[in-house]
A = this chain, B = another copy of it.
Amino acid sequence: MKNVSVLGGYKIVEIKQITSQEKGRLQFFEGENDIPFAIKRIYYITDVKKGVWRGAHSHKNLKQLLFCPFGEILIKLTDGIVSNSILLNEPNKGVLILKPLWRDILWNQDNSVLCVAASDYYDQSDYIRDFEDFTKFQRENKY
Q: Is A113 an interface residue (CB 8 A)?
A: yes
Within 8 A of B (CB), among A46-74: 46-49, 52, 54, 69-71
Instruction: Give the interface size class of chain A.
Output: 35 or more
CB distance from A138 to the nearest CB of B (A): 26
**Is the beta-carbon distance between B30 and A115 smaller than 8 angstroms?**
no
**Is the beta-carbon distance between B26 and A44 smaller than 8 angstroms?**
yes
Given the contacts A23-B54, A69-B115, A113-B113, A41 and B30 also touching, CB distance less than 8 Å: yes
A20 and B48 CA atoms in complex are apart in Å by 10
Closest to A44 in B: B69
Number of identical monomers bound together in the oligomeric complex: 2
Residues of B within 8 A of A111 (CB): 70
**Is the beta-carbon distance between B40 and A115 smaller than 8 angstroms?**
no
A40 and B115 CA atoms in complex are apart in Å by 16
Q: Is A42 an interface residue (CB 8 A)?
A: yes
Residues of B within 8 A of A96 (CB): none
Within 8 A of B (CB), among A13-61: 22-31, 33, 38-49, 52, 54
**Is the beta-carbon distance between A27 and B44 smaller than 8 angstroms?**
yes
Residues of B within 8 A of A40 (CB): 30-31, 39
A-B contact pairs, 6 of them (CB 8 A): A24-B49, A25-B46, A26-B45, A27-B45, A31-B41, A70-B113
